Amino acid sequence: MYRKLTIILFLVFGCISGQQNPKEEPLPAIQVMATSQDNEVLLRWAVDQPVAWKRANAYGFQIERFTVARKGIVLAQPEKKMLTPTPLKAQPLEAWKSIVEQNNYAAILAQALYGERFEVEGNQQGGLMEIVNKAKELEQRFSFALFAADMNFEAAKLAGYGYVDTTAKTDEKYLYRITAMVPETLANIQMGTIVIEPAKIQPLPAPIDLIAVGQNKTIMLTWEYEIFRSIYTSYFIERSEDGVQFDRLGDTPLVNMNDKPGKPATRMMYMDTIPQNGKTYHYRVKGVSTFGKTGPPSAIAKAKGIRPLEKVPHITRGTLVDDGSAKIQWEFPKEAEHQISGFDLNRSATANGTYTTVVSAIGKSQREYNYADLEPSNYFTITAKGVNGSQKTSLAVLIQPIDSIPPQAPTALRGVIDTTGVVTLSWKANTEKDMLGYRVFKGNLKGEELSQITVDPIPQNQFIDTVTVASLNPKVYYSVVAVDQRFNMSDYAQLLTLDKPDKVPPTSPVFSEYKIQQDGIDISWANSSSTDVAKHILYRQDVAEQEKGWQVIFETDTIQSFTDASTTSGKKYRYAIFAEDHSGLTSAPSTPITLSAVNFTPEEMIKGLRTEIDTEKGSIRLFWRIANPDKVKEIAIYKSKNTGKPKLFIQVPVSKNKIEDTRVYPNTKYTYYIKPIMDSGSFATFKSIDVNY
């Protein structure tokens, strides 16, 4: 049992967390929840990343409590209490035996923590998939462990993910801090904190908006889920035949498996199979919290199973009558009339549109109806209404009054294009009563076939379009067609020709590369992509003398690089480049870049570097002095051990001239490298010293 536990695949859809992009994954952290009961505070926590979770399991957790207020008065100094002098870890496997035999979630959690293998039914097997499954095993253990801990608080306590503070008082306010005792060299896990005032904890809420819908020997239940997502992890459903005595439907609580990445579920759904139709059943639901507490029941919803109609009406004929009405005829078995109360006639303008009941309560023995209030397009269906509330609807039949006369072509077509390329079109509205709308057509070249730019006929006599102003076509062409409800189309309106404005500046050039050289600053850029560019203008600004403004240092038509040789070492300069077209329009500036002119000859700043070894204290002390402190911003000290690569050890301000290294071990050679960070960005020489400790 402890060596292998096969976990049913359906759990996967609800609890395995989505993978994140490694570049965006935040530091692992401990997430904490808390509640109170009587004079106790219940805590639940979890590490939110698989690798960090595994390491935290090995080292355990430390819980600290800070009393921040008492009897409504904030304490001047919070009172600290260590609740776990020894790190809290999962109990030995032997301690799980009794709870595992009684609870499946405890068994899942024990298997995730202690099992030699962890398999999920439904994983593909064989070949490469065996390697993939093995690689995913840690994530599966992590996901199922947290899911199972949410489902059983006693198991969570055994796993070291739950704690009950029995020393809490209702007249105090606490801050709890939970720390993973994993060394920072293995994982930097952010501690979890939570503030709780036991006296102000609200009781668990009752689930809301329970709805029961009867179907054939089944009743569909649905209730609000999203509002109480952070409170309840699962639900129990209870059913009653008399509305007084309720029994649970199963011993396992119901978990929402409909959450999807980026689209969380808003309601819970459950389909209950009932023994018989026609009998009323009463339902209520209760939520189960992360701490294993069951909340109060919801309001009662009731429904009964409905035996569906077995027979379906069928429209046999739909014809136009001389008086302009439509005669609809249908069939329905005579022997099934006792199952229905009558018929409804429904109409829609389209086959897949919304059908509206236009005639209700047609007698159950009637098989035809004359409908006079016709529209240009009519799709009819007949619905048989069952005496028990069920119903069956026929397929649709189309009936159209004859109309082959198209509307008049639209007139007075006008339009204007603003400087941003937005086109506003308008025309005189048609007066025909059966108008459906208008189709708008567009062309970019005179004489070409126009293309329709409206997907469906639009009802209004105006239209907004956009054009690309900066293009080779200086004009654009429009026309409009009127469409009636029979989809008869008019002739085209008179062609409208509009001139595009020439007020769009060129696109901006973009800096592509720069190099800081001994003889100056090399700058390269990608020219503007606009075809009418006359020149590119490069500007420079002295950052320390911004009041002098920007200065033009270079103009060109095709060249894409420039070396600024008039810079001064140690100064910062800001560069921007513009494009200008033949009309004198100037582009927006490129994104400016700020560069520092650097003296590449390194300066020697470190003097008197020496060390002292203190074997009693177990440390090495380094001493130095700075030749010119005004030029140095800070000191970076690197350290290597034996033949290893140097790593950054510490950064200190320029005012400090000594440090003490206590992270040393006997019989080891250490090399320290001291590098000044110059305030001007220029270079300075490294100094190094070896120490045999």
Spell out the residues 6+ positions from residue 73 whose beta carbon is closer than 8 angstroms to its own. none
The DSSP code sequence of 73-133 is EEEEEEEEEES-SS-B-PPPGGGGHHHHHH-HHHHHHHHHHH-S---BTT---STHHHHHH
Structure tokens at 38: 């009587």
Whether 211-304 shares its CATH topology with 314-399 is answered yes
Alpha carbon 295 to its chain's center: 30
- The whole-angstrom separation of Cα 40 and Cα 198 is 8
Look up residue 206 and give its two tokens: 């009752």
Coil vs helix vs strand at 315: strand
Provide the pLDDT for residue 136. 80
pLDDT at 683: 64
**Could you tell me the residue ranges of all domains in the chain?**
9-200, 211-304, 314-399, 411-499, 510-596, 606-692
CATH class of the domain at 606-692: mainly beta
Return the percentage of the chain with pLDDT > 90, whole number. Answer: 54
In the prediction, which pLDDT does 366 show? 95
Cβ-based neighbours of 38, under 8 Å, separated by 6 or more: none
Structure tokens at 52: 């960090």
Question: In the prediction, which pLDDT does 116 show?
Answer: 81
Sign of dihedral through CA atoms 162, 165, 170, 173? negative
pLDDT for residue 173: 94
CA distances from 18 to 13, 14, 44, 143, 648 (A): 11, 11, 22, 10, 35
Query: In Å, what is the CA distance from 296 to each residue of 44, 239, 241, 269?
Result: 21, 15, 20, 19
Whether domain 314-399 has CATH 3.40.50.261: no
The string of pLDDT tens digits covering residues 136-177 is 888 889 989 998 898 889 999 999 999 999 999 989 999 999
> Looking at the domain covering 411-499, what would its CATH class be?
mainly beta
Residues belonging to the chain: 693
The CATH number given to 510-596 is 2.60.40.10
User: What kind of architecture, by CATH, is found in domain 211-304?
Assistant: Sandwich (2.60)
**pLDDT tens profile 218-246:** 999 999 999 998 889 899 999 999 999 99
* Strand, helix or coil for residue 561: strand
pLDDT tens figures, 562-616 = 998 888 777 889 999 999 887 788 888 888 998 887 766 677 888 888 999 988 8
- In terms of Cα–Cα distance, which of 663, 668, 661 is closest to 641? 668
pLDDT (0 to 100) of residue 376:
77
Helix residue spans in 199-322 (DSSP H): none
What share of the chain has pLDDT > 70, as a percent? Answer: 92
> Is 2's pLDDT higher than 70?
no
Strand-by-strand arrangement of the 475-484 sheet: 451-452, 435-443, 475-484, 496-499
CA distance 250 to 338: 39
Whether 551 shows a pLDDT value over 60: the answer reads yes
- Predicted confidence (pLDDT) at residue 478 exceeds the cutoff of 60: yes
Q: Which CATH class is domain 9-200?
A: mainly beta
Nearest of 375, 402, 396, 392 to residue 318 by alpha carbon: 396
Report the mean per-residue pLDDT for the chain.
87
Distance separating alpha carbons of residues 361 and 369, to the nearest angstrom: 12
Cα separation values, 181 from 1, 56, 195, Å: 31, 7, 21
Distance of alpha carbon 647 from alpha carbon 673, whole angstroms: 9
What is the helix (H) or strand (E) element at residue 56, kind and residue range? helix 50-59
HEC secondary structure over 382-440: EEEEECCCCEEECCCEEECCCCCCCCCCCEEEEEEECCCCEEEEEEECCCCCCEEEEEE
| Higher pLDDT among residues 343 and 446, named by residue | 343
Helices (H) and strands (E) in the chain, counts: 7, 43
Identify whether the C-beta of residue 427 lies closer than 8 Å to the C-beta of residue 478.
Answer: no
